[in-house]
A and B are shown apart, each in its own frame.
Chain A
């Protein structure tokens, strides 16, 4: 980004609008009379407070009833939200957003002050937000969150009602994705203060500025409706009149409801996926979550032992794990960064950074490397332990890896499945030989994964260390933060190093398999953050 680059999002959206209207006119003939979508969530809606939302259900609801500065769209591309346009200063630290004139569902205007208020509220310690850490690049975040500085010192200011200026403590190229997430939504001060501790604990004690507004939620009941918000600035584009959401916790019931046409979608479990996978209604939704194997390299066998790490990686048949063992729509990984998470033009990061030896299966080579590794360490055999979660997926994974490891001469692999908390504790303190870890990206950028394995990152449980890797990630986060091409190159290079050195072994990319009725169109899915966007969805005629 050279100088204050102005992204003329407004113009782009104008053109897109024309295009869509043209399509709309054509589609209208096929629109069903009732534009009501019947959606399902598998858990209750716990809150509608943007500062307190941590789960996908409230994430989905907030994403559709509220709108931040930018809005995430198909293929994780950003489109204008409350901000018509924005510009970034040369040093990448000052972001200026120009806001449009838009309204809350109670008719009051959405202003820059609403963003300032909402952001400060999320960060201040008494709110105890579990997503406040996403603000860590915003000036003074850390001291405010620890209670050492007043929330008013946060690096965000309103210049008049329709301009918002954000100051970062260091450049963050993906800040644009963060401002589209629910932790960065605007909050109407009058409403928040009027309802106090009841704010957003039911659909009436809240106010909305997105394509829909929430109705029929009393705080604990398990159905609610998103109704079209006529006050929304882009309401002309919203075709759905309502999205009726129902909570179904039993997979069998969900399937029956789907088959009887009472609901329009079904997230399948493993058994259902196997039965239904050839149906034309089946869609695989990639999520940005990766399961991977970490080696304890603090001391002991794996330290500086790239042959041993590679041997283990090569001996695990990942396609067999995903297709035969998990069989739930998950896919074999191409690298640590999931496919379809980050793109440059039409190039997928995972393709660009692909290292064949990092994820492939080759038993002969694995044996050769393993023998070499054993010889070098002066042993004829070794017993290692594999740690993982006690979830069904965790158990299946370790059993599979154990069976694969039996083919490496002189290796005896024992396994331990423990609850999530215990696994985290033991990983952090280094009490393991190998551990199955998982990570979900918060935003669609490769660095959400790459930053994990720098030498001193707390999530680098195995203490894998590599100077080139550290330098690449440091450049991407610092010197090249404002140069998209150089930054992309840094991260690709880092990922290649990680795979060539086999710092970790990617095991599988967790996907979700969804059945969707053929008359439902335009529902957008996102691999990170909130999952669904209904603002462009519609129901075609199917009677």
Chain B
């Protein structure tokens, strides 16, 4: 297991290095500058400002400086926020994003599994039809549309929850729901399909034949076995939530990194774009790593070990 982990972490770092390199050179192809007032600056004034940001050096030198900085945890200085280190920008903004992401993940996956299981158990009844309709709606309504609908009806018309802004649990409810809708629907659909399969399999028949209670069979045999494929989709779901958060944070005026990412792209603030890309990559790779480990725990057959080598 330790050897496996080390190998995975090595690959993770390698991937990260490639991501940094590719993003760096892609960014250099974009026409962004820290000049806010380009039209009114003389060439010598422009040169002076670019020099302050180290942008007059050859690109390979800028690349080495950048990679060197990243190794020391220095992501450079933001173009939009003067004198503000990008590492501070991200560390002060990552809290709301992580909180929302975690809440959305829990709110999406746990009820998703329950609803999916319920649909499978009550297959071809009105319960099944209702849960299927709900999950299809969850998949087909984009999060930003749901966000606006929630803002309009629950925030503006019913005054139940704040429309936007940040400052306490009440402010997280609507964005969490908007973000959680699609993971919820995905999980519910997946769980239902898997569970229907599992419930028809021989070992379930056997368990029933042995006289186990209905719920005992469902909990011990059906649900556990259905969860393996569900774990597989947690990785993609996390990506879903991360990309969704860019839009959702903007709509709900949440001071997170998703919102910052959008702003950085619009203002060509590439030190920030680079750093946020790295943070997103790390988060995604860590989620995938955890998924793989969880896999092994749920199903011993999948556990990869060095023994066969």
B partners with A: yes
Docked Cα-Cα span, A282 to B42, in Å, equals: 39
Q: Which listed segment binds A: B13-21, B78-86, B280-288, B291-299?
A: B78-86
Contact between chains at A47 and B31 (CB < 8 Å): no
With contacts A249-B263, A250-B251, A424-B38 known, is A128 near B155, CB below 8 A?
no
Partner of B80, one of A46, A146, A222, A246: A46
Partner of B92, one of A146, A220, A421: A220
Q: Mark A173-213, 1 if CB is under 8 A from B, else 0.
A: 00000000000000000000000011111000000000000
Tell me whether B178 is interfacial, beta carbon within 8 Å.
Answer: no
**Smallest CB separation, A126 vs chain B (Å):** 8
Contact between chains at A256 and B156 (CB < 8 Å): yes
Q: Which listed segment binds A: B104-112, B130-138, B252-260?
A: B252-260
**Smallest CB separation, A257 vs chain B (Å):** 6
Contact between chains at A421 and B38 (CB < 8 Å): yes
Docked Cα-Cα span, A270 to B92, in Å, equals: 34
Contact between chains at A222 and B253 (CB < 8 Å): yes
Q: Is the interface of A mostly helix, strand, loop or mixed?
A: loop
- A458: chain B residues at CB < 8 Å are 42
Tell me whether B93 is interfacial, beta carbon within 8 Å.
Answer: yes
Q: Mark A198-236, 1 if CB is under 8 A from B, else 0.
A: 111100000000000000001111110000000000000
Tell me whether B205 is interfacial, beta carbon within 8 Å.
Answer: no
Tell me whether B49 is interfacial, beta carbon within 8 Å.
Answer: yes
Contact between chains at B164 and A46 (CB < 8 Å): no
- A131: chain B residues at CB < 8 Å are 37
Contact between chains at A219 and B152 (CB < 8 Å): no
Contact between chains at A257 and B163 (CB < 8 Å): yes
With contacts A43-B263, A220-B93 known, is A249 near B253, CB below 8 A?
yes
With contacts A220-B89, A260-B155 known, is A133 near B80, CB below 8 A?
no
Tell me whether A54 is interfacial, beta carbon within 8 Å.
Answer: yes
Residue in B closest to A130 when the chains form the complex, CB atoms: B37
Q: Mark A439-471, 1 if CB is under 8 A from B, else 0.
A: 100100000000000000011000000000000
Tell me whether A52 is interfacial, beta carbon within 8 Å.
Answer: yes
Within 8 A of B (CB), among A387-434: 419-422, 424
Tell me whether B9 is interfacial, beta carbon within 8 Å.
Answer: no
With contacts A52-B82, A220-B89 known, is A256 near B164, CB below 8 A?
yes
Interface size on A, residues (CB 8 A): 49
Tell me whether A252 is interfacial, beta carbon within 8 Å.
Answer: yes
Contact between chains at A47 and B255 (CB < 8 Å): no
B: contact size bracket: 35 or more
Contact between chains at A253 and B259 (CB < 8 Å): no
Contact between chains at A260 and B83 (CB < 8 Å): no
- B78: chain A residues at CB < 8 Å are 46
Contact between chains at A246 and B253 (CB < 8 Å): yes
6 closest A-B pairs by CB: A54-B36, A128-B52, A47-B82, A52-B82, A421-B31, A128-B49
Contact between chains at A219 and B40 (CB < 8 Å): no
- B259: chain A residues at CB < 8 Å are 222, 249
Residue in B closest to A437 when the chains form the complex, CB atoms: B39
Q: Mark B9-30, 1 if CB is under 8 A from A, else 0.
A: 0000000000000000000000
Contact between chains at A219 and B88 (CB < 8 Å): yes
Sample of 6 further A-B pairs with CB below 8 A, known A222-B255, A249-B262: A130-B45, A219-B84, A220-B89, A250-B164, A256-B164, A257-B164
Contact between chains at A260 and B37 (CB < 8 Å): no
Docked Cα-Cα span, A315 to B163, in Å, equals: 47
Tell me whether B125 is interfacial, beta carbon within 8 Å.
Answer: no
Residue in B closest to A200 when the chains form the complex, CB atoms: B83
Contact between chains at B38 and A419 (CB < 8 Å): no
Docked Cα-Cα span, A459 to B39, in Å, equals: 8
- B260: chain A residues at CB < 8 Å are 220
**Smallest CB separation, A60 vs chain B (Å):** 15
Tell me whether B97 is interfacial, beta carbon within 8 Å.
Answer: no
With contacts A249-B250, A257-B164 known, is A133 near B40, CB below 8 A?
yes
Contact between chains at A262 and B163 (CB < 8 Å): yes
Tell me whether A248 is interfacial, beta carbon within 8 Å.
Answer: yes
Tell me whether A436 is interfacial, beta carbon within 8 Å.
Answer: no
With contacts A47-B82, A256-B156, A260-B156 known, is A220 near B44, CB below 8 A?
no
Partner of A54, one of B37, B52, B83, B255: B37
